Amino acid sequence: MVNELAINEGLRLTTHIGESVDEGMFVRWGAGVFAERWSERGIPVEPPGCSPLAFIDSLGLLRPNTLLVHGIDLENEDFETLRAKRPALVHCPKSNAKLAHGIAPLTEIRETAITVGLGTDSVASNNVVDMFEEMRAAIFQQRGRTKRFDALDAQTVFRMATLGGAECLGLADHLGSLDAGKRADFVVVDLNDPAVQPVYDPISTMVYSASRRNIRATFIGGREIKAESTELVQECAAAAERLREG
């Protein structure tokens, strides 16, 4: 029903897929912890016997308006599926590593020429939601996995974190880069911090050395936005209280 609604309304569809070994065991063989939980609840386990990506493809879920998250557990045939169906994918390197799910084959995914963005997953699986850290983690993981210095570079991962994300959401005409007619959402990063010296290239410096602590201003729609941390904490505490009461 969700897929039909998305198609009929022209909406984008998002799903987490190929994230863990347990997920793959469940979909391929009806085994592992997910199968055990289903059995405990008396739910029949009838595995489709294929990769998680192939399974959602068989359900008609893969198309250019589909956004996939993770994509760690992929088989050789899955890359051809990506190339043919053209979904977008969000890479979440720190979350993948923290949960011990593995390293996504990002180099091979990018070779399919699909749209790729960079994400954090959520605070449930990533303590520090910091895109600078995600950019670094993405580069280091891919270079370590492939043993190739050219597996991923600063310029590529910076684009994934900015315009790539906007493309994944279908918002590239409005966000993701500083072009005439767009919303002018951006941050000002101070590279004078001794910890980020020397600065030979601004993008490389931001990717390899900067952090959210180097952000000096945030603009949304061309207007500077200031948020006091105390006010944010109070707002979050009030929301948490309402959830407990509800």
Residues facing 91 on adjacent strands: 118
**pLDDT digits over 149-195, tens only?**
999 999 999 999 999 999 999 999 999 999 999 999 999 999 999 99
pLDDT tier for residue 231 given thresholds of 50, 70 and 90: confident
Q: Is residue 235 over pLDDT 90?
A: no
**Averaged over 143-148, what is the pLDDT?**
98
pLDDT at 46: 94
What pLDDT does 226 receive? Answer: 84
What type of residue sits at position 63?
Answer: R
Once rounded to an integer, what is the mean pLDDT over residues 214-243?
87
| Mean local confidence (pLDDT), 111-118 | 98
Answer whether residue 228 shows pLDDT above 80. Answer: no
Q: Which of 129, 132, 108 is CA-nearest to residue 205? A: 132
Phi, psi at 90, each rounded to 5°: -105, 125
Q: What pLDDT digit, counting tens, does each position of 48-66 carry?
A: 999 999 999 999 999 999 9
| Structural domains in the chain, sorted by start | 2-178 (3.20.20.140), 184-246 (2.30.40.10)
Tokens of 188: 């000002």
Predicted confidence band at 236 (pLDDT cuts at 50, 70, 90)? confident
Per-residue model confidence as pLDDT tens digits over 17-53: 999 999 999 999 999 999 999 999 999 999 999 999 9
* Mean pLDDT score, 229-240: 82
The overall pTM is greater than 0.75: yes
Distances (CA, A) of 174 to 58, 96, 113, 155, 224: 33, 29, 22, 21, 18
How high is the pLDDT of residue 57? 98
Confidence bin at 230 (pLDDT 50/70/90): confident
What letters, b where the CB count within 10 A reaches 16 and e where it falls short, cover 153-166?
Answer: ebebbbbbbbbbbb
